């Protein structure tokens, strides 16, 4: 196979970013088709990436486009049927997280992946490809902190974006489904054990609109894993300083912290405010390199026939854990996590 020919579905916030990477930054891939229900996104694909093979219907793209793979970056509720349809049409699939919005949907995606062992399926848990997280994983595997027994993860969106979060609060599935999935995946990946029990609670102090919509502005969840390790996940929407994603892994012989200060870069500004480090503004900036590296890895897997480390089962499990966390938060109780 020469260049891997990619058809992308969904050119919203994240789809545009993936499309840019595929079109301009991955030498062994080319963006040859695009599909969106929004005509302006197809115009964008033509204008910015020169893609003229465009579709408003996903099945039509599968049927007519000359593509090897499909990148699914549509609204989360569309992922699982598109994964199934694309694999059944003989296409390799990259799908952004979450795998699906219900566990049943995730199971249909699992079945499709199992039906097609000859095809590559890649789930976009891009934090695993971020150089700092990948380095932390390597240090843990080398024994640098002994046996890891606790992960403390924080994922807090900037206050600057809170208006959008308020708007979608009523339909987001709640703060844990909406926000915690990456932290849940990291916890499982770094501790190498699945949580079996969770307690969760929420709080709202600044924007009562979240409560009115049945959601919370901040969520905290504590997990007990099968091997006895602990996880603590803090999600929120009101970081004053920017986009705060921080993870601490504590082991018997030491600990690791990834971005305790979510620095924009290494430039320190000395002025009347003191010595100031600016912070990243959102996921696209913080994880720009991770989005590129995960897509490169997917394309390489397609060409070499190797299986990615992240699997469809990681997608189902994170969704199951997200729902159990939501149940614990809503009922104010401890919930068992069933797989």
Ligand X SMILES: NC(=O)c1ccc[n+]([C@@H]2O[C@H](COP(=O)([O-])OP(=O)(O)OC[C@H]3O[C@@H](n4cnc5c(N)ncnc54)[C@H](O)[C@@H]3O)[C@@H](O)[C@H]2O)c1
Binding window for ligand X (CB under 6 A); candidates: 71-79, 155-163, 183-191, 331-339: 71-79
Per CB under 6 A, 35 contacts ligand X: yes
Report the candidate in 94, 321, 113 with the shortest Cα–Cα distance to residue 198. Answer: 321
Report the candidate in 83, 90, 153, 85 with the shortest Cα–Cα distance to residue 124. Answer: 83
Q: How far is the CB of 276 from ligand X (least distance, A)?
A: 27
Per-residue tokens: 227: 């091997």
Phi-psi region of 146 (alpha: psi -120 to 50; beta: other; left: phi over 0): left
Report the candidate in 54, 180, 103 with the shortest Cα–Cα distance to residue 338. Answer: 103
CA pair distance 88, 298, nearest whole angstrom: 19
Per CB under 6 A, 38 contacts ligand X: yes
Binder of ligand X out of 6, 9, 220, 321 (CB under 6 A): 9
Per CB under 6 A, 12 contacts ligand X: yes
Report the candidate in 295, 279, 272 with the shortest Cα–Cα distance to residue 244. Answer: 279
Question: Dihedrals φ, ψ of 10, to 5°?
Answer: 95, 115
Binding window for ligand X (CB under 6 A); candidates: 31-39, 104-112, 231-239, 325-333: 31-39
- State whether residue 277 is helix, strand or coil: strand
Binder of ligand X out of 3, 30, 37, 303 (CB under 6 A): 37
Answer yes or no: are the C-beta atoms of 11 and 45 closer than 8 Å.
yes
- State whether residue 162 is helix, strand or coil: helix
Q: How far is the CB of 59 from ligand X (least distance, A)?
A: 10
Q: How far is the CB of 243 from ligand X (least distance, A)?
A: 11
Binder of ligand X out of 53, 68, 96, 105 (CB under 6 A): 96
Binding window for ligand X (CB under 6 A); candidates: 11-19, 63-71, 146-154, 331-339: 11-19
Extended strands (E) in 29-135:
29-35, 54-55, 69-72, 92-96, 121-124
Nearer to ligand X, 130 or 145 (CB): 130
Q: How far is the CB of 60 from ligand X (least distance, A)?
A: 10
CA pair distance 246, 129, nearest whole angstrom: 15
Place of tokens 């480390």: 309
Binding window for ligand X (CB under 6 A); candidates: 24-32, 33-41, 86-94, 191-199: 33-41
Task: Output the residue with the shortest Cβ distance to ligand X.
Answer: 12
Binding window for ligand X (CB under 6 A); candidates: 68-76, 158-166, 200-208, 233-241: 68-76
Q: How far is the CB of 241 from ligand X (least distance, A)?
A: 20
| Footprint on this chain of ligand X (rule: CB under 6 A) | 9-10, 12-15, 35-38, 41, 58, 73-76, 78, 96-97, 124, 126, 283
């Amino acid at each position: 196979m020469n260049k891997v020919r990619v058809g992308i579905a969904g050119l919203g916030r994240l789809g545009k970013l993936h499309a840019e990477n595929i079109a301009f930054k991955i030498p062994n891939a080319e963006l040859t088709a695009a599909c969106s229900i929004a005509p302006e996104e197809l115009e964008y694909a033509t204008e910015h990436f020169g893609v003229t093979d465009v579709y408003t219907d996903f099945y039509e793209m599968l049927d007519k486009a000359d593509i090897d793979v499909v990148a699914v970056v549509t609204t989360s509720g569309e992922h699982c049927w598109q994964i199934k349809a694309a694999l059944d049409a003989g296409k390799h699939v990259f799908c952004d997280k979450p795998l699906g919005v219900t566990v049943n949907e995730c199971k249909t995606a699992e079945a499709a992946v199992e039906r097609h062992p000859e095809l590559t399926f890649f789930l976009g848990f891009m934090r695993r490809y971020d150089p700092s997280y990948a380095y932390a994983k390597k240090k843990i595997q080398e024994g640098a902190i002994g046996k890891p027994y606790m992960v403390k993860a924080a994922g807090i969106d900037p206050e600057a974006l809170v208006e959008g979060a308020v708007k979608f609060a009523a339909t987001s599935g709640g703060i844990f489904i909406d926000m915690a999935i990456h932290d849940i995946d990291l916890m499982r990946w770094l501790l190498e054990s699945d949580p079996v029990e969770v307690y969760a609670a929420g709080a709202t102090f600044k924007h009562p609109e979240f409560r009115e919509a049945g959601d919370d502005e901040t969520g905290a969840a504590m997990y007990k894993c099968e091997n006895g390790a602990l996880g603590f996940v803090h999600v929120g929407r009101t970081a004053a300083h920017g986009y705060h994603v921080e993870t601490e892994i504590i082991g018997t012989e030491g600990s690791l912290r990834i971005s305790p200060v979510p620095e924009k870069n290494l430039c320190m500004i000395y002025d009347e405010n003191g010595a100031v480090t600016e912070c990243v503004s959102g996921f696209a900036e913080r994880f720009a390199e991770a989005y590129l590296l995960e897509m490169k890895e997917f394309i390489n897997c397609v060409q070499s026939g190797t299986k990615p480390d992240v699997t469809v089962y990681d997608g189902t499990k994170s969704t199951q854990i997200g729902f159990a966390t939501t149940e614990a938060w809503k009922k104010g109780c401890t919930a068992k996590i069933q797989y």
